[in-house]
Chains A and B, each alone.
Chain A
């Protein structure tokens, strides 16, 4: 069996073909770099996505500051993570890169600010 996976690691968008038997991957073809193989492997078994959104700022000039997960989150968990992120806020003065939520949904991923809360 073959499955076509378009690599999204970089904008090249290589079309990678995964050949598999059952749930075992036999080979990958069409990738342009080693990161592509890694991406295709994860995409085939458990697709991960960086989640980016924003949280409220208490006492700032701006109502929001942007946040993201510091690593991929299983695609199927994105909406549940949004429900958790929606509950939190940060204080004005919080610096870029600060952890807002540790190990969201019990995963390895932390949610961090991507700008200063102003």
Chain B
């Protein structure tokens, strides 16, 4: 078996991995190796041909392939080494990647590692939908790949379950391609995805959005013939008296994303029960020293711009670790999710001069709130928001040098 060495190994050449690898090179790591199982860079951005990327990072509106190309070109210019068609099978002894490619098996001994494997979609198996198992039940991302890359149409009359961003984007895409979209069904009383996607993807094309409803069963074999939809009560249980049969030949699922952490789990990395991603400190280092993490494998993001910024930090710190320059003696301050906050990432701040960015999501939509960070003794940061939404991640950047409390808490409070 061939054995290689490198300073920083990055797993996954999507937006997170591309940004982390470039940043690691810029921070002084000599040999940065990016390993990707697909034959092309860009990850999910390859199939996200719609615009809306880069508004925060580049201050211009790009499509997914254009956004990815900028980061790929930069990584190539900086001398990042790429291995495509290569799957990481395991992380052994905390720093060795066991890889498989058409050229055979190999080991990469890395001084530090960045996990950037992204996430995957929840499928029908993750939900409980009664009925037969016909063709025509497909996740929104799979449909996006078939339509945008493989030139294959998925059906003629589509119902979408879940108001996540990919589902809404696909509603518009299907309509543009002449497919009938009968509606989007959302179990929650509010939208899961971004407001701008509801406007540009649903409202522009008169596609109805049915909140507080869900799919109760699927009918038809070997192909979907109809889907039953019912209103839900306060406990999100379907009210069967309201059940209605909707004729369609395809059910598209846009019901959430799961960070893809099999590698992390097998490497003994501690995972967070809420995000499904590794527990990290503000250096984005996991519970295994020398392994860093960023992007959707850490926590599912709604904006790639956030992913790029976060991943650059992970890449930089992975480089510093490889060079023996990342301080490890700083004081640790745990971060708690307080009132109306579902989770905060990172969950621990390493106190240094400088700032830390905390990403968090609220538990429910609200208008006119104060975002407040307290360190147990005083409020260290506060900002008013017109509105907050679980579908839209919040990011706050706070100076950490003056924090004194044993822990800090983020609260979202009504004004």
Spell out A's residues near B (CB within 8 Å): 6, 8-11, 13-15, 47, 49-54, 56, 62-64, 66, 68, 75, 78-79, 82, 96, 114-115
The answer to whether A64 and B149 touch across the interface, beta carbons within 8 angstroms, is: yes
Q: Who on chain A is nearest to B39 by CB?
A: A61
Instruction: Give the residue of B69, B196, B387 whose beta carbon is less than 8 angstroms from that of A8.
Output: B196
The answer to whether B51 and A50 touch across the interface, beta carbons within 8 angstroms, is: yes
Q: Which residues of A contact B195 (CB under 8 A)?
A: 6, 8, 13
Q: Does B2 contact A (CB under 8 A)?
A: no
Chosen A-B contacts, 12 in total, with CB atoms closer than 8 Å, are: A6-B199, A11-B56, A49-B200, A63-B150, A66-B49, A66-B148, A68-B63, A82-B176, A114-B62, A114-B65, A115-B66, A115-B69
Assuming the contacts A49-B204, A96-B65, asked whether A11 and B148 have C-beta atoms less than 8 A apart, the reply is: no
Q: Which residues of B contact A8 (CB under 8 A)?
A: 195-196, 199-200
Docked Cα-Cα span, A115 to B149, in Å, equals 12
Nearest Cβ on chain B to A7's Cβ, whole angstroms: 8
The answer to whether B49 and A114 touch across the interface, beta carbons within 8 angstroms, is: yes
Q: Who on chain B is nearest to A9 by CB?
A: B55
The answer to whether B63 and A66 touch across the interface, beta carbons within 8 angstroms, is: yes
Docked Cα-Cα span, A14 to B389, in Å, equals 13
Docked Cα-Cα span, A9 to B52, in Å, equals 9
Docked Cα-Cα span, A6 to B200, in Å, equals 11
Docked Cα-Cα span, A10 to B195, in Å, equals 10
Interface contacts beyond A50-B51, A68-B63: sample of 17 additional A-B pairs, CB < 8 Å, sorted by A: A6-B195, A6-B196, A8-B195, A8-B200, A11-B55, A49-B200, A53-B49, A53-B173, A54-B49, A63-B150, A64-B148, A66-B63, A82-B177, A96-B66, A96-B69, A114-B62, A114-B65
Q: Which residues of A contact B62 (CB under 8 A)?
A: 114
Instruction: Give the residue of A10, A56, A75 whose beta carbon is less than 8 angstroms from that of B204.
Output: A75
Instruction: Give the residue of B55, B63, B176 whose beta carbon is less than 8 angstroms from that of A114.
Output: B63
Q: Does B78 contact A (CB under 8 A)?
A: no
Q: Which of B38-86 contact A (CB under 8 A)?
A: 46, 49-51, 55-56, 61-63, 65-66, 69
Q: Does B303 contact A (CB under 8 A)?
A: yes
Q: Who on chain B is nearest to A97 by CB?
A: B66
Docked Cα-Cα span, A31 to B364, in Å, equals 23
Q: Does B332 contact A (CB under 8 A)?
A: no
Nearest Cβ on chain B to A93's Cβ, whole angstroms: 16
Nearest Cβ on chain A to B396's Cβ, whole angstroms: 15
Assuming the contacts A10-B55, A63-B150, asked whether A50 and B61 have C-beta atoms less than 8 A apart, the reply is: yes
How many chain B residues have a CB neighbour from A under 8 Å? 31
Q: Which residues of B contact A115 (CB under 8 A)?
A: 46, 65-66, 69
The answer to whether B49 and A52 touch across the interface, beta carbons within 8 angstroms, is: yes
Q: Which residue of A52, A54, A64, A75 has the most chain B CB atoms within 10 A of its CB atom? A: A52
Q: Who on chain A is nearest to B49 by CB?
A: A66
Q: Which residues of A contact B69 (CB under 8 A)?
A: 96, 115
Docked Cα-Cα span, A49 to B398, in Å, equals 37
Q: Does B26 contact A (CB under 8 A)?
A: no
* Chain B positions 157 through 200: 1 when the CB is less than 8 Å from some CB of chain A, otherwise 0: 00000000000000001001110000000000000001110011
Docked Cα-Cα span, A80 to B28, in Å, equals 52
Q: Does B370 contact A (CB under 8 A)?
A: no
Q: Does B30 contact A (CB under 8 A)?
A: no
Q: Which residues of B contact A50 (CB under 8 A)?
A: 51, 61
The answer to whether A63 and B151 touch across the interface, beta carbons within 8 angstroms, is: yes
Q: Does B407 contact A (CB under 8 A)?
A: no
Assuming the contacts A8-B196, A96-B66, A96-B69, asked whether A14 and B150 have C-beta atoms less than 8 A apart, the reply is: no
The answer to whether B176 and A53 touch across the interface, beta carbons within 8 angstroms, is: yes
Q: Which residues of B contact A96 (CB under 8 A)?
A: 65-66, 69
Q: Which residues of B contact A79 (CB under 8 A)?
A: 176
Q: Which residues of B contact A64 (CB under 8 A)?
A: 148-151
Sorted nearest first, the 5 A-B pairs with minimum C-beta distance are A8-B196, A66-B49, A63-B151, A115-B65, A13-B195
Q: Does B128 contact A (CB under 8 A)?
A: no
Q: Which residues of B contact A9 (CB under 8 A)?
A: 55
Q: Which residue of A15, A54, A115 has the most chain B CB atoms within 10 A of its CB atom? A: A115
Q: Which residues of A contact B386 (CB under 8 A)?
A: 14-15
Nearest Cβ on chain A to B398's Cβ, whole angstroms: 20
The answer to whether A52 and B194 touch across the interface, beta carbons within 8 angstroms, is: no
Q: Which residues of B contact A62 (CB under 8 A)?
A: 149
Q: Which of B287-314 contact A (CB under 8 A)?
A: 302-303
Q: Which residues of A contact B150 (CB under 8 A)?
A: 63-64
Nearest Cβ on chain B to A111's Cβ, whole angstroms: 12
The answer to whether A52 and B50 touch across the interface, beta carbons within 8 angstroms, is: yes
Nearest Cβ on chain A to B361's Cβ, whole angstroms: 14
Q: Who on chain B is nearest to A47 by CB?
A: B204
Q: Does B392 contact A (CB under 8 A)?
A: yes
Q: Which residues of A contact B46 (CB under 8 A)?
A: 115
Q: Which residues of B contact A51 (CB under 8 A)?
A: 176
